[in-house]
Amino acid sequence: MGCITPLGHTVAEMWGNVLRGASGASATELFDARTFPSTFSSQVKRFKLTDHVADHGVHRHAGRNTQFALAAAEQAWRQSGLDKHAPDPRRVGVYLGSGEGSLDFANFVSVMVESWSTTEDKLDTVRWAELAFERMDAMREMEQEPNMPASHVALRYNARGPNFNCLTACAASTQANGEAASAIRRGDVDLMISGGCHSMIHPFGVTGFNRLTALSQRNDSPATASRPFDQTRDGFVLGEGSSILILEEYEHARARGASMFAEIIGYGSSADAYRITDIHPEGRGGAAAMQYAIDDAGIAKADVDYICAHGTSTKENDRTETQAVKTVFGELAAKIPVSSPKSMLGHLIAAAGTTELICCVMAIRDGILPPTLNLNTPDPECDLDYVPNKPRKANVRTCMNNSFGFGGQNDCVIVRKMG
């Protein structure tokens, strides 16, 4: 496992800060956001690719999201011992959930402004071509394609097997993990580098989420702004980062003496087929994904010890996710601890699901549940056990990880302790 997050540049650092109830939210520094409705975000700070990757020059054009993925992948690769036991590159694949890369805003805007014909009120394409070919870097423009992180990671580790990218908003990296595990099950590969990365803390990204009224505007108190399941919640905190896993077929890992943390035993995916930006009010899509994952795992509902919620801190998500959990688990729902690491990390969009799956694995390893921070005024419609404000010791063997994305994408992965 490897991660680059607002709460740390390693799994140990991130997990330690989660258990301490730290917050990654602060005033936005990546651009001047003082005139935006939301002036804060959950940023990765003090990050340099040179601190993580030796041959960083090969990736010098990579966007911010791709650099996060490369650094997280390096941690996971080394922790897995694959730097000492090189696998057959034809049997190594990559599956990432990642969004668009960083746009070259400065040059793009200057070319656009200078190419606009005020007399005809339209773009002068002749002038555009002249300026664009003069000022805009072709490599930087190419790096905004969503498949670039997967391509860079494959290059870094000579992964010549299947290479996939999914851009399914907030569900992307959970989908990537589920599909990567499925590829191993089918026998397509021995090993998959999976996870997600995203960086949308730029004017375009923040404007979009503000226009959707999805972001918290608690500008006077960023650290307490993400408050999933709390009655006073007013939106999520936009974050960034990357988390990467090495998923490997059991016998293949055993043969090389790899240390194994946990096993992915179930995966479910569904679509709301309702509205693009709204969740079905009964949470039918999320409930379906959870049920599919349970069926795929072949376990009883009572076997689930902990649910790592999508838990975004928006009115709609938290209420409907609660309803979906009740639909699936019935009377058991009140007995299963549910919590949201987003209350500390912020919402890492395409990287969120894998970061939260790492929290599940660490909960299994350490026997302790991450809390839901800032839950002081429970919403009457959100009436489950959300592990409020403090971590909790627990015997954790099987965890469910939920991720629900814009457009009605729902993905769920179930992970279990080895042995």
Which CATH number is 186's domain given?
3.40.47.10
Of 141, 161, 195, the domain-final residue = 141
Cβ atoms 402, 290 nearer than 8 A: yes
Are 332 and 320 found together in one domain?
A: yes
Domain count, the chain: 2
Are 225 and 93 found together in one domain?
A: yes
Are 160 and 124 found together in one domain?
A: no
Are 296 and 153 found together in one domain?
A: yes
Report which of 287, 293, 378, 299 is spatially closest to residue 329, judged by C-alpha positions. Answer: 287
Query: Could you give the residue numbers annotated as active site?
Result: 170, 310, 347
Report which of 399, 284, 397, 248 is spatially closest to residue 338, judged by C-alpha positions. Answer: 399
3-class secondary structure per residue, the chain? CEEEECCECCHHHHHHHHHHCCCCEEECCCCCCCCCCCCEEECCCCCCHHHCCCCHHHHCCCCHHHHHHHHHHHHHHHHCCCCCCCCCHHHEEEEEEECCCCCCHHHHHHHHHHHEECCCCEECHHHHHHHHHHHCCHHHHHCCCCCHHHHHHHHHHCCCCCEEEECCHHHHHHHHHHHHHHHHHHCCCCEEEEEEEEECCCHHHHHHHHHCCCECCCCCCHHHCCCCCECCCCCECEEEEEEEEEEECHHHHHHCCCCCCEEEEEEEEEECCCCCCCCCCCCHHHHHHHHHHHHHHCCCHHHCCEEECCCCCCHHHHHHHHHHHHHHHHHHHHHCCEECCHHHHCECHHHHHHHHHHHHHHHHHHCEECCECCCCCECCCCCCCCCECCCEECCCCEEEEEEEECCCEEEEEEEEECC
Are 402 and 340 found together in one domain?
A: yes
Residues of the domain holding 78: 2-102+143-417
Of 113, 141, 169, the domain-final residue = 141
* pLDDT at residue 52 in the model: 95
pLDDT at 264 over 70: yes
How many Cβ atoms from other residues are within 10 Å of residue 132's Cβ? Answer: 17
Are 348 and 371 found together in one domain?
A: yes
* pLDDT at residue 104 in the model: 65
| Mean pLDDT estimate for the chain | 95
pLDDT at 57 over 90: no
How far, CA to CA in Å, does 145 sit from each of 42, 98, 103, 120, 152? 23, 10, 10, 32, 12
* pLDDT at residue 356 in the model: 98
Are 83 and 122 found together in one domain?
A: no
Are 167 and 244 found together in one domain?
A: yes
Are 48 and 119 found together in one domain?
A: no
pLDDT at 405 over 90: yes
Are 233 and 363 found together in one domain?
A: yes
* pLDDT at residue 49 in the model: 94
* pLDDT at residue 103 in the model: 63
Give residue-wise pLDDT tens across range 95-142. 999 987 666 677 788 888 999 998 889 999 999 899 988 887 777 777
Are 61 and 128 found together in one domain?
A: no
